[in-house]
C-alpha cells in the first residue's frame, strides 16, 4: 500500500510506531558507551556477560527473551501472511541493535502492508485500553529518562 492511501488512523499509528522506535533506540543506545571501545565481538561478549550480573538483570533478560520468542514467531507468520518483503532483517536487528526499537518498525511495516479494509476494521481500542497504553508509555519514558541520565 502506498503512503498516499493511508487513513488518518494509520498515519497516526505509523507516526507513533516511529516515535516509539526512536525513543527505544535513544534509550538503549545511551547504555552502550562502555561497550563501544571493545569492538563488535568483545562488546557482545561483555554485554551478554553483564546481563548475568544480578537477579534483576537476569530476570529482565529472561523475560525479554521469552517475549522476543513469542513476538518473533508472530512476526514471521504475520510477515508471510501479508507478503511483507525483507522481513528477515528484523531478526539480526533485534539481536544486535535493540528489539524494542525493531518491533515498532516491524509494526509500522506491517501497517503499511495491511489491506485498507483490514486496517480500518481492526485495532479499535476503548478508553481504558488507551489509558493503559498511556500509562505504559509514561512508565517507559520515565524509566528511559532515568537510565539516560545515569549513563
Is 84 a domain residue? Answer: yes
Is 131 a domain residue? Answer: no
Is 43 a domain residue? Answer: yes
Say what the pTM is. 0.86
100-132: pLDDT as tens digits: 999 999 999 999 998 766 666 656 778 898 899
DSSP 80-146: HHTT-SSGGGHHHHIIIIIHHHHHHHHHHHHHHHS-HHHHHHS----HHHHHHHHHHHHHHHHHHHH
Given this model, what pLDDT does residue 3 score? 46
End-to-end, the C-alpha distance of the chain in Å comes to: 41
Low-confidence ranges of the chain (pLDDT < 70): 1-4, 116-123
Is 146 a domain residue? Answer: no
How far is residue 48's CA from residue 45's CA, in Å, rounded to a whole number?
5
82-93: pLDDT as tens digits: 999 999 999 999
- Quickly count: other Cβ atoms within 10 Å of residue 18's Cβ: 14
Given this model, what pLDDT does residue 6 score? 81
Is 51 a domain residue? Answer: yes
Given this model, what pLDDT does residue 1 score? 46
Is 76 a domain residue? Answer: yes
- Residue 46 is part of which domain span? 8-125
Is 107 a domain residue? Answer: yes
Is 3 a domain residue? Answer: no
The structural domain count of the chain equals 1
Amino acid at each position: 500500500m502506498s503512503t498516499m492511501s493511508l487513513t488518518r488512523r494509520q498515519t497516526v499509528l505509523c507516526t507513533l510506531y516511529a516515535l516509539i522506535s526512536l525513543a527505544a533506540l535513544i534509550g538503549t543506545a545511551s547504555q552502550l558507551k562502555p561497550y563501544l571501545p571493545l569492538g563488535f565481538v568483545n562488546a557482545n561478549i561483555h554485554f551478554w556477560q553483564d546481563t548475568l550480573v544480578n537477579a534483576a538483570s537476569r530476570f529482565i533478560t529472561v523475560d525479554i527473551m521469552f517475549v522476543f520468542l513469542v513476538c518473533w514467531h508472530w512476526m514471521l507468520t504475520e510477515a508471510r501472511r501479508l507478503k511483507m518483503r525483507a522481513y528477515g532483517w528484523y531478526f539480526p536487528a533485534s539481536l544486535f541493535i535493540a528489539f524494542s526499537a525493531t518491533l515498532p518498525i516491524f509494526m509500522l511495516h506491517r501497517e503499511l502492508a495491511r489491506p485498507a479494509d483490514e486496517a480500518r476494521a481492526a485495532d479499535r481500542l476503548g478508553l481504558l485500553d488507551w489509558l493503559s497504553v498511556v500509562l505504559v508509555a509514561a512508565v517507559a519514558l520515565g524509566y528511559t529518562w532515568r537510565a539516560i541520565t545515569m549513563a
